[in-house]
Amino acid sequence: MNNKEINPGAAPAGIVGLGLMGCSITTCLLMAGHPVVAVAPIPADVDTAEPRVREHLKKCFEEGLTDREPDYWLAHLTITEDYGALRECKLVIECTLEDQAIKKAVYEKIEAVVPEDTIIASNTSAIPISLLQRGAKVPSRFLGLHWAEPSHTTRFLEIICGDSSDVQKAEWLYEFSHVWGKEPTLVRKDIRGFITNRLMYAMYREAFSLVENGYATVEDVDRACRNNAGYWMTLVGIFRWMDLTGVPAYHTVMKDLFPTLNNQTTVPKLIDDIVKAGGKGVQNAKGFYSYTPEEAKLWKETFEAFSYEIRRLALKYPADVVKKKLAAADKPKKDI
Ligand SMILES: NC(=O)c1ccc[n+]([C@@H]2O[C@H](COP(=O)([O-])OP(=O)(O)OC[C@H]3O[C@@H](n4cnc5c(N)ncnc54)[C@H](O)[C@@H]3O)[C@@H](O)[C@H]2O)c1
């Protein structure tokens, strides 16, 4: 149970962009004890953001993530169209559309009002930070801060340095983000897609290749993925998994399998056709599967319920779970 409270004297955290992720990041920061100034870059956000954040906070209260009701947290949230409200912030997180020109225009407005030592971070999924920080007034204070949706339940966070970023600022954020309930990853050198998207997209590419070449259906690929990697990935990552299951076997398989893996550099036809026909997935009930509106709604609700449940399980297995067990048993530390 989070029994944190807001420190009203603390500098507020700033958010710019109040769509899906901006609202869940706002929820996470409030419950971590920060007053939050949230800037709506488009007027439509002003009406939708507060109910969205309220709904997240209500769910968090019901699920036991906080012992305080939404009104307590919301009293420390300012939603405004005025960038000037960010002037006291030591950290501003940009969360606007995945569009370089839009993001750069937003940075100009942020830099015009915040002090020189304020960290400006982008939640970009894949635009290199080195490109985003180019042309900024103070490029060294720009970092990537890549969250996973829904940010108030997930422990994922990537902190990414661009070519001109101050690594010390990234290290500071890395340490600090534990307060937000994260198990962060520090990406010291910029690379497109950072770590997680490079791993995931390698898997997506192979998944398309298997389906498009008739080896398996979408359903079968999904089932294999859920019941293999989906079974252990909340406990361990790829390298620990190989340690757990025997390293030499992987060495043997790699020699013969790697040359056969897909290395296509264009967007697969299967996804291209869906997107060109307007398919968005469960959002409009048109994706790789077809949904009735009722099924699409139920998938959204099921995903939300699952995200709270997997969080409860994940909290039992932090990255240092074995060290903790040893410390609890008061055994001497070995090379773990
Ligand atoms: N959705 C995810 O799961 C996810 C995960 C990680 C990172 N991201 C990244 O987070 C960022 C936001 O994604 P999202 O899913 O919240 O998107 P979204 O579509 O829900 O929200 C986009 C927001 O961008 C802002 N915006 C729209 N047009 C604008 C304009 N012309 N000028 C300035 N601001 C404008 C608005 O605040 C809008 O609410 C993107 O960079 C995305 O790649 C998303």
Res 2 pLDDT > 90: no
pTM, whole model, 2 decimals? 0.91
Q: How far is the CA of 47 from the centre of ligand 1 (A)?
A: 16
Distance CA 78, CA 87 (A): 13
Q: Which atom of ligand 1 is nearest the CA belonging to 98?
A: 41
Cα–Cα nearest to 164, from 114, 120, 124: 120
Q: Which atom of ligand 1 is nearest the CA belonging to 147?
A: 6
For residues 249-264, one letter each, b for 16 or more C-beta atoms within 10 angstroms of the residue's C-beta and e for the rest, the string is eeeeeeeeeeeeeeee
In tens, the pLDDT along 239-291 reads: 999 999 999 999 999 999 999 999 999 999 999 999 999 999 999 999 999 99
Cα–Cα nearest to 311, from 119, 147, 155: 155
Q: Which atom of ligand 1 is nearest the CA belonging to 48?
A: 39
Q: How far is the CA of 91 from the centre of ligand 1 (A)?
A: 18
Distance CA 149, CA 154 (A): 7
Inter-residue contact 122 to 137 (CB < 8 Å):
no
In terms of Cβ atoms closer than 10 Å to its own Cβ (0-12, 13-18, 19+), residue 4 is middle
Q: Is the CB of 21 under 6 A from ligand 1?
A: yes
Inter-residue contact 166 to 141 (CB < 8 Å):
yes
In tens, the pLDDT along 102-111 reads: 999 999 999 9
Res 65 pLDDT > 80: yes
In tens, the pLDDT along 218-243 reads: 999 999 999 999 999 999 999 999 99
Inter-residue contact 2 to 66 (CB < 8 Å):
yes
Q: How far is the CA of 155 from the centre of ligand 1 (A)?
A: 20
Cα–Cα nearest to 238, from 250, 248, 227, 252: 250
Strand spans (E) along 95-182: 119-122, 142-147, 156-161
Of all protein residues, the one whose alpha carbon is nearest to atom 38 of ligand 1 is 19
> In the structure, what pLDDT confidence band is assigned to residue 336 with cuts at 50, 70 and 90?
low
Q: What's the length of the chain?
A: 336
The mean pLDDT of the chain is: 95
Q: Which amino acid is at 170?
A: A
Q: Which amino acid is at 122?
A: S
Evaluated on CA atoms 239, 240, 241, 243, the torsion sign reads positive
Of all protein residues, the one whose alpha carbon is nearest to atom 25 of ligand 1 is 96
Q: Is the CB of 25 under 6 A from ligand 1?
A: no
Q: Is the CB of 102 under 6 A from ligand 1?
A: yes
Distance CA 310, CA 154 (A): 9
In tens, the pLDDT along 94-151 reads: 999 999 999 999 999 999 999 999 999 999 998 999 999 999 999 999 999 999 999 9
